[in-house]
């Protein structure tokens, strides 16, 4: 189903999308350019809240709440811990970015042009389905069709847990030495 | 809602993440940019899942997998950064040139 520009702007969902998209892009730019490390992490929270709102808009409720719980709740706290442990400067820091960041900006711009141009030329204005996915159906699908990948992800999480403890823990034999 | 608007937003977020990975010098900030890229990928997965109307909800399930893998990646990545910081008193990626010939 093709959608024209007039149809697009008359849908209230699209205005909600536009507000959250602008918010997300603005805060994502702040994440990569802000000189204050803690502020950059807090702007990542804004971006993730925007993505959770878009998931709600797409009818993916369980994914939205998972983003809120895991990404905003746990990962961001982990980042703040990481910043505090590595004693990154908490205030403004001039040396946080490379001196030559124009090549990086150029690469990012070229990548954006390439990806968005190829996506829009391939899919044009085809409409998305409007369907709210119930969490129960999602769970049935995970435990019936995707049960092997699910188990693999659990093993991966366990391996990551053990690996990060082994890496970050101080060796007891090292501490005995003066 | 069209598929293109989500694809354009996701590619914008992904490119911003690529810029962050290339331009930041602090290793924690590089991981933060990687997190941004993973968020954009999961937006794409959910949008295309809604587009295909897949009965197994593959898009959303793979978005959940991406979130789980992102959590594991952050845990291991921060542990490695912590170890590097403990050995070298710095988390600056420019100074990690041991493998440079």
**Is residue A114 predicted with pLDDT exceeding 90?**
yes
Q: Please, which pLDDT band fits residue A36 given cuts at 50, 70 and 90?
A: confident
**Is residue B51 predicted with pLDDT exceeding 80?**
yes
**Is residue B11 predicted with pLDDT exceeding 90?**
yes
Distance of CA A56 to the CA centre of its chain: 15
Contact criterion met (CB below 8 Å) for A131 and B53: yes
- Nearest-angstrom CA–CA distance, B55 and A113: 33
pLDDT at A174: 65
pLDDT at B35: 93
pTM: 0.89
For residue A128, the chain B residue with the least C-alpha distance is B51
What does the CA dihedral A161, A162, A167, A173 come to, rounded to 10 degrees?
Answer: 140
- Nearest-angstrom CA–CA distance, A138 and A130: 16
- Nearest-angstrom CA–CA distance, A13 and A136: 25
pLDDT at A63: 93
pLDDT at A98: 72
Nearest CB to B9: which of A11, A21, A60? A21
* Cβ contact A28–B65 (<8 Å): no
Number of Cβ pairs closer than 8 Å across A and B? 259
pLDDT at A2: 63
**What token pair was written down for B4?**
């293109």
* Cβ contact A51–B23 (<8 Å): no
Distance of CA B95 to the CA centre of its chain: 23
Residues of B in contact with A39 (CB under 8 A): none
pLDDT at A163: 93
H helical segments located in B1-101? 3-23, 27-52, 58-88
ipTM confidence: 0.91
**Three-state DSSP class for residue A26:** helix
State whether residue B96 sits within 8 Å of chain A by CB: no
The rounded mean pLDDT for chain B is 89
Degrees (nearest 5) of the Cα angle B46, B47, B51?
115
* Cβ contact A129–B50 (<8 Å): yes
What is the residue whose two structure tokens read 């982990």?
A78
State whether residue A10 sits within 8 Å of chain B by CB: no
Residues of A in contact with B58 (CB under 8 A): 146
Residues whose CB is less than 8 angstroms from the CB of residue A50 and which lie 6 or more positions away in sequence, other chains included? A20, A21, A23, A24, A27
**Is residue B90 predicted with pLDDT exceeding 80?**
no
What is the residue whose two structure tokens read 């993440």?
B17
**What token pair was written down for A118?**
């190829």
Average pLDDT for B83-100: 80
- Nearest-angstrom CA–CA distance, A122 and B85: 46
Residue of A15, A16, A31 for testing the chain B interface, max B β-carbons within 10 Å = A31
Average pLDDT for A158-174: 85
**Is residue A108 predicted with pLDDT exceeding 60?**
yes
pLDDT at A92: 62
pLDDT at B71: 92
pLDDT at A128: 80
State whether residue A65 sits within 8 Å of chain B by CB: no
- Nearest-angstrom CA–CA distance, A174 and B100: 29
Contact criterion met (CB below 8 Å) for B2 and A128: yes
For residue B57, the chain A residue with the least C-alpha distance is A138
Nearest to B75 by CA among A37, A157, A48: A157
For every residue of A103-158, DSSP letters joined together read HHHHHHHHHHHHHHHHHHHHHTTBBPP--PPPHHHHHHHHHHTSHHHHHHHHHHHH
Contact criterion met (CB below 8 Å) for B67 and A72: no
Q: How many Cβ atoms are within 10 Å of A174's Cβ, its own excluded?
A: 7
Q: Which of A16-20, A31-35, A86-90, A148-152 has the lowest mean pLDDT?
A: A86-90
* B 26-85 residues with CB < 8 A to A: 26-29, 31-33, 35-36, 39, 42-43, 46-47, 49-51, 53, 56-58, 60-61, 63-65, 67-76, 78-83, 85
Higher pLDDT, A73 or A99: A73
State whether residue A26 sits within 8 Å of chain B by CB: no
pLDDT at A4: 72
What pLDDT, in 10s, does the model give residues A37-51?
A: 889 999 999 999 999
Average pLDDT for B44-59: 88
pLDDT at A177: 54
Q: Please, which pLDDT band fits residue B24 given cuts at 50, 70 and 90?
A: confident
């Amino acid at each position: 189903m093709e959608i024209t520009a007039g149809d697009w702007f008359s849908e209230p969902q699209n205005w909600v999308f536009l507000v959250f998209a602008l918010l997300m892009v603005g805060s994502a730019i702040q994440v990569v350019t802000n000189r204050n490390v803690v502020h950059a992490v807090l702007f990542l929270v804004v971006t993730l809240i925007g993505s959770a709102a878009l998931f709600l808009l797409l009818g993916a409720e369980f994914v939205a709440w998972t983003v809120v719980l895991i990404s905003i709740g746990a990962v961001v706290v982990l980042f703040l811990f990481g910043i505090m442990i590595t004693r990154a400067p908490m205030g403004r820091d001039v040396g946080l970015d490379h001196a030559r960041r124009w090549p990086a900006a150029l690469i990012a711009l070229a990548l954006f042009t390439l990806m968005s141009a190829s996506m829009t030329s391939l899919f044009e204005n085809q409409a998305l389905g409007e369907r709210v996915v119930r969490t129960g159906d999602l769970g049935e699908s995970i435990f019936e069709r995707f049960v092997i990948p699910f188990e693999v992800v659990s093993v991966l999480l366990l391996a990551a847990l053990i690996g990060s403890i082994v890496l970050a823990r101080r060796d007891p034999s090292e501490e005995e030495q003066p | 809602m069209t598929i293109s608007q989500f694809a354009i937003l996701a590619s914008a977020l992904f490119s911003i993440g690529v810029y962050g990975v290339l331009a930041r010098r602090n290793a924690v900030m590089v991981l933060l940019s990687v997190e941004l890229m993973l968020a954009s990928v999961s937006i794409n997965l959910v949008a295309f899942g809604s587009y295909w109307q897949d009965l197994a909800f593959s898009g959303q399930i793979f978005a959940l997998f991406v979130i789980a893998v992102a959590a594991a990646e952050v845990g291991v990545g921060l542990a490695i950064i912590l170890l590097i910081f403990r050995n070298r008193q710095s988390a600056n990626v420019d100074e990690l040139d041991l493998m440079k010939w």
